[in-house]
Structure 1
Amino acid sequence: MANAVPSFRKPRVKRAQNAELALGALLAVMLIGIAALIEKFAIAPVEGMTVLAQVTQAALGDGPLFYLVQFSTVVLLALAANTSFGGLPVLAQLLAGDNNLPHFFALRADRHVHRYGIAFLTVTSAALLVASGGAMNLLVPLFAIGVFVGFTLSQAGMVKHWVVDRPAGWRWRAALNGFGALLTLVAAVVVTVSKFTEGGWLIMVALPVMVLAMQWVNRSYTRIGLRLELGRTPTPPRPRRSLVVVPVHAVNRLTRESLTAALSLGDRVVAVNVTHPEDEPDGRRFVEDWERWHPDVELVRLFDAHRRLDEPLVDYLKQVPEAHVFVLIAEVEPERSWQRVLQNQRGAVLARALRRRTDAVVCRMRFRVGARTAGAA
């Protein structure tokens, strides 16, 4: 309920408080009623039948009402599972906003849902089901412990909130939340100890790992922020002399478009052709085509005995005098997604190596087949 406050209509906080009170009242009435029926009919756990089913059978018999209650239970459980898909992505968004989770958890899809949070929860839930073999007796303790730990942390946080802000009536509010935190903490300890060998140990391992992982993410974003000088006004931008390097292997429309884009980007443009010494006849034909085309762009030929594309280009970039270097890699954008398997992936390999081993700005220009213009990505 707390995570879903932004989903309520205004006044959101008041409506969420009313909904929380109604939910608590309903839960209390149902729990007391079920406990009274369990005592009345002397229900005890048995193999192959839930306690709720036994209570329903004792109260309503084996007729249609029994199956109606069972079906309603399944629907309610499905809604309860859906609640996680509505709440956890929102919580992940808040944590991502505080730099405790990767920022893509804060992104929303076209339908305003947090697709990455939903996808993460889906994969994690499926992995738990597969790992447990679908045995609910192993998963229920995990759920129970997680709930009590969450309640304990949230109520302890409210105690801190009341003590720090000290609004009117803060003492009794802090006492109420503190008492609730104590009760849920005792419940968490009892369930963890009693169910430790039945899966409770997983929570004991997972919680510290999650906290350490979020701390690592936060420290990483802090370091990135320092390097980007976030929160500081940078000096005004000034133009710098730049070099644009364009790997080429043939004279065609793709080469023309890439060089056109390069001439618009930098002060000096160099076309680089990497060949193997044994492919010298093909290299000579390329040079002849280049001279016949005469694009007024400097051509540099590099040779590598091991047929590598990245190593010669990396060595060349280390020798250029310009400090600001762009590498523009032209690629064909296929009309169909499946046609990507037909590509040689030369651009992806080259871009990965350049980003890892040089300070050059790598631009991958996607040339759409059949289109009149090319787009950069």
Structure 2
Amino acid sequence: MPPELRRRCSDAGDPKYGGVSHDVHGRRRAGGVRCERVWLCLAVLVLVTAINLRGVVDSAKAFLVPTMLFVGAILALIVVGLFRDAPVSTASAAGHASALSDNATTVGALLLLKAFASGCSALTGVEAVANAVPSFRTPAVRRAQHTEVALGALLGIMLIGLSVLIGRFHLQPVHGVTVLAQLADASFGHNAAFYLLQFATMVLLALAANTSFGGLPVLMSLLARDNYLPHLFALKADRQVHRHGVLALTAASAALLVFSGGNTNALVPLFAIGVFVGFTICQTGMVRHWYRQRPAYWQAKAALNGLGALLTGIAAIVVTGTKLTDGAWLVVVALPLLVLAFEGIHRTYGRIGERLELGRIPQPPHRARSLVIVPVSGLSRLTSQALTAARSLGDEVLAVTVTHNDPEDRQAAETFRRDWELWDPGVELIEVPSTTRSLGRPLAAYIRNLSHHHDAQVTVLIPEAEPAHLWQRLLQNQRGAVVAHAVRRDTDAVICRLRFRLAPS
């Protein structure tokens, strides 16, 4: 078990970390976070990752059923609850202490701001539609707009409906029981419908990470396209999924889960702050966009985006202030560092573009004299194939072998030279002495020295046998990889690796 995870597991008995606690009657009650929760979270993370690696369509199909089950259960709860005059049951909250202070009689401005920020947190996720616009079918923008409107309407109906029922049944927050569980108990009663809603909620919360998997890899691809992230993140796999973005998100998520001991409540503020900061920046950018473009009714559009920037900015400040000591400081530190990293990557790509003269018309290509070097260590069909390919590629071909000073190696080198002269392939064999057992460095030094004295394009053709079965590759000596690494590191020669496929016997 990793040390960090072992430490988190050792905190299982501390109520601060979700260990064993007691209710108002002194009864022993299991805490929220245990060692097993970390492994459970990691297992769900692996499941979500595997589904997303299969592509957008397959992941959408996999998450459609639990999502529809949850939405249907919530709507049923609201409809049934509106016909209730009083709670059907309060069994779920029985015996649990109230989360309100005994002297909580007034509502202050700070509490209102905190409630506003927490309410805004419930609406996070709508940004995933905007991030995933490139994943929509044509017309992508129109489809994304319809999806955003439908999502906003559905969230509004559920949030307002649940809020009405909370006031209707006079529910209060209690330790150890969610408000949604109290609402289900009050509307349905403590029966099968109650447990069905709890199960649907559990499954949906477990799969809620798919929101990030659907949006962040696409966003990372856009940043990579604009040279703010490595271009690797802009690549798509065969299933039209940004695989490297998905894997990077998985690694970061796993690290956060282990660091927090599986306590997702501690991670929610980190997520909310990042979302609200992003919302504020986007809305501010839209205000600048409308001001510069000035289309019809641009004042109303700018005012709407300005109001959105103000509200989300307030939410970001409130959440950061109230959760600063609970881990929000990590976001405060991480965001500037990420911006600096993005700027550093962008400057690096800018310098590379200048060296490559991107965006300019280059000089016309011309034919240069070519010299092909073939590393050899013995005579075989592979050697013959390599020399045949080399003679078709270059004006001049040299075969190079590395020799050592050991008596046994000297005898083998003399035998190899005699066999080469008897074979007479029409290619000169060059012996490169090595005082050590190294293979790549002496060869790279010879090629570098040769490049300085020859006005020709040097190409190193490395012959390699490719076994028919994957496990047989473990039997190879990897000489080709060693030579290729040394030549790439120490010279400017072109590297060509010739694969000789071995047919299965």
**Which residue type is aligned with residue 139 of structure 1?**
L
The corresponding residue for 2:380 is: 252
The answer to whether the 8 Å contact 1:248/1:271 transfers is: yes
Change (3 A) 1:269 1:9: closer
Question: Which residue among 468, 475, 487 is the counterpart of 1:335?
Answer: 468
What are the Cα deviations for residues 51-71 of structure 1, in whole angstroms up to 9, with x where unaligned? 221222233221112112222
| CA-to-aligned-CA distance 1:285-310 (integer Å, 9 cap, x gap) | 11111111111101111111211112
Separation (CA, whole Å) in 2 of partners of 1:370 and 1:256: 17
2:139 and 2:493 mapped to 1: Cα distance? 52
Which consecutive residues of structure 2, in runs of 5 or more, have no partner in the other structure?
Answer: 1-128
Q: Which moved more, 1:23-32 or 1:295-304?
A: 23-32
Q: Secondary structure in 1 aligned to 2:208?
A: helix
Cα distance in structure 1, aligned partners of 2:430 and 2:143:
69
Q: After TM superposition, give the deviation of residue 170 of structure 1 in Å.
A: 0.8
2:381 aligned with 1:265, yes or no? no
The one-letter amino acid paired with 2:249 is L
Aligned equivalents of 1:314, 1:111: Cα separation in 2: 40
* 2:438 aligned residue: 308
Amino acid at match of 1:273: T
Aligned partner of 2:479 in structure 1 is: 346
Letter in 1 for 2:429: L
Alpha-carbon RMSD: 1.9
Shift of 1:325: 1.0
Give CA-to-partner distance per residue, 1:213-236, whole Å, 9 cap, x none. Answer: 222222222222222221112222
- Alignment partners' CA distance in 1, 2:364 and 2:307: 56
1:292 to 422, 427, 441: 422
Q: Name which of structure 1's ranges 281-290 and 320-329 shifts more when overlaid on structure 2.
A: 320-329
| Deviation at residue 73 of structure 1 after TM alignment | 2.0
Point out which structure has higher relative CO (alpha carbons under 8 A, 6+ apart): 2
Equivalent residue, structure 1, for 2:143:
15
Q: Which moved more, 1:25-34 or 1:158-167?
A: 25-34
Aligned to 1:158: 286
What is the identity, as a one-letter code, of the residue corresponding to 1:353?
A
Residues 100 and 217 of structure 1 are in contact (CA less than 8 Å); yes or no, is this contact kept in structure 2? yes
1:52-91 residue pairs with structure 2 within 5 A? Answer: 52-78=180-206, 80-91=208-219
SS of 1:261's partner is helix
Report the secondary structure of 1:101's partner residue. Answer: coil
Amino acid at match of 1:322: H
Aligned 8 A contact 1:331 1:366 in 2 = yes
Task: Give the drift of 1:171.
Answer: 1.0
> 1:2 matched to which residue of 2?
130
Determine the structure 2 residue equivalent to 1:239: 367
State whether residues 242 and 322 of structure 1, in contact with CA within 8 Å, keep that contact through their aligned partners in structure 2.
no
In the alignment, the residues of structure 2 paired with residue 239 and residue 119 of structure 1 have an alpha-carbon distance, to the nearest angstrom, of: 43
Measured in 2, the distance between the counterparts of 1:209 and 1:339 equals 45
**Paired residue secondary structure (1:332):** strand
Does residue 503 of structure 2 align to residue 370 of structure 1?
yes
Q: d(CA) in 1 for partners of 2:158 and 2:473?
A: 57
User: Which one is further off, 170-179 or 79-88?
Assistant: 79-88
Aligned to 1:125: 253
State whether residues 250 and 286 of structure 1, in contact with CA within 8 Å, keep that contact through their aligned partners in structure 2. yes
Percent identical pairs in the alignment equals 61
Deviates more, 1:293-302 or 1:303-312: 303-312
How much does 1:10 deviate?
A: 4.6
Which moved further from structure 2: 213-222 or 354-363? 213-222
Quote how far apart the aligned CAs of 1:347 are: 1.6
Residues of 1 paired with 2:321 and 2:312: CA distance? 14
- Unaligned runs of at least 5 residues, structure 1: 372-377
Q: Within 2, Cα distance between the matches of 1:44 and 1:263?
A: 84
Q: In structure 2, which of residues 161, 165, 179 is the aligned counterpart of residue 33 of structure 1?
A: 161
Q: Number of aligned residue pairs: give it.
A: 371
Could you tell me how far 1:8 is from its partner in structure 2? 4.0
TM-score (norm 2): 0.70
Give the whole-Å Cα distance in 2 for the aligned partners of 1:262 and 1:6. Answer: 45
